[in-house]
């Protein structure tokens, strides 16, 4: 009974929030990130994106006007990482706050000596635990071009990471995956990156990934979808685990279409 009611409700939501065909095609064509999807993936992504638009509340701030194409651009990129993750991967939060550009967050910390330190951070995105996803529109526009940068996927990766408690670079794994494999492979890759950044050696990730294991997971998730060939070449074992986790293989997808 509940199941039936749930389906009916979902069907009504999908009908009410149906994405215009021309707008959908246009959005996909404009984002290199989404050009290589199969017909089945295209259909599933559209379904998830429609549900995302129906269920999330968008809150533009500081005078930003957020029209339907802009909402769609955010929603479709938020749904790409969860394309093949069945279940309730984005259900524990509801609001998407969008700033026109980077935004400032005051920070403070009391050190071991009891002295209060205050500073502020300039952010392009932020993910609150079970709370809003916060994005800079200027950074959304800079995302999805196959250049390695994607603020929406970055913040979605933090959301997935936080589902099992700590935001620590270890998201809830599927039953056929082992936490010990993940921890070993990611720790080694993180250390390799930190040492490359310290020595100014070329590497394919935004150096921000060296901040912490959580940022490493978020940044390498962006690169996994944006520049998968580079991640596969530089971090092959991490690439394999990300394929298992996201249940997608963007490098193969890209190669099979070009």
Query: Which stretches of the chain bind Zn ion, using CB under 5 A?
Result: 215, 218
The CB-side HSE value for 225 (13 A sphere, CA atoms) comes to: 33
Closest approach of Zn ion to the CB of residue 218, in Å:
4
Closest approach of Zn ion to the CB of residue 172, in Å:
18
* 144 alpha-carbon distance from chain centroid: 11
Q: Which is nearer to Zn ion, 206 or 249 (CB)?
A: 206
Closest approach of Zn ion to the CB of residue 211, in Å:
8
Q: Which is nearer to Zn ion, 207 or 229 (CB)?
A: 207
For 198, residues 6+ apart whose C-beta sits below 8 A from its C-beta are none
* 165 alpha-carbon distance from chain centroid: 18
β-bridge partners, 121: 105
Helix (H) or strand (E) holding 139: helix 137-141
- Chain position whose Cβ is nearest to Zn ion: 218
For 206, residues 6+ apart whose C-beta sits below 8 A from its C-beta are 148, 149, 219, 222, 223
Closest approach of Zn ion to the CB of residue 199, in Å:
23
Q: Which is nearer to Zn ion, 20 or 121 (CB)?
A: 121
Q: Which is nearer to Zn ion, 53 or 98 (CB)?
A: 98
Closest approach of Zn ion to the CB of residue 177, in Å:
23
Q: Which is nearer to Zn ion, 45 or 214 (CB)?
A: 214
- Residue 64: helix, strand or coil by DSSP? coil
For 132, residues 6+ apart whose C-beta sits below 8 A from its C-beta are 59, 93, 94, 95, 96, 97
């Amino acid at each position: 009974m509940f199941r039936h009611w749930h389906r009916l409700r979902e069907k009504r939501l999908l009908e009410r929030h149906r994405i215009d065909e021309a707008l959908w095609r246009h959005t996909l064509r404009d984002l290199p990130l989404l050009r290589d999807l199969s017909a089945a993936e295209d259909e599933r992504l559209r379904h998830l994106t429609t549900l995302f638009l129906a269920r999330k509340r968008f809150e533009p701030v500081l005078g930003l006007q957020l029209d339907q194409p802009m909402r769609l651009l955010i929603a479709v990129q938020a749904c790409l990482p969860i394309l093949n993750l069945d279940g309730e991967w984005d259900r524990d939060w509801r609001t998407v706050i969008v700033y026109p550009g980077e935004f400032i967050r005051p920070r403070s910390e009391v050190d071991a000596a009891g002295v209060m330190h205050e500073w502020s951070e300039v952010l392009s995105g932020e993910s609150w635990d079970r709370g809003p996803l916060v994005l800079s529109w200027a950074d959304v526009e800079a995302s999805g071009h196959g250049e390695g940068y994607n603020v929406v996927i970055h913040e979605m990766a933090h959301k997935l990471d936080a589902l099992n408690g700590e935001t620590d670079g270890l998201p809830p794994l599927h039953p056929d995956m082992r936490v010990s494999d993940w921890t070993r492979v990611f720790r080694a890759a993180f250390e390799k990156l930190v040492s490359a950044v310290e020595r100014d050696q070329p590497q394919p990730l935004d150096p921000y990934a060296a901040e912490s294991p959580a940022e490493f997971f978020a940044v390498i998730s962006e690169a996994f979808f944006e520049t998968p060939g580079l991640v596969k070449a530089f971090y092959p074992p991490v690439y394999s685990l990300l394929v298992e986790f996201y249940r997608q293989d963007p490098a193969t997808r890209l190669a099979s279409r070009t």
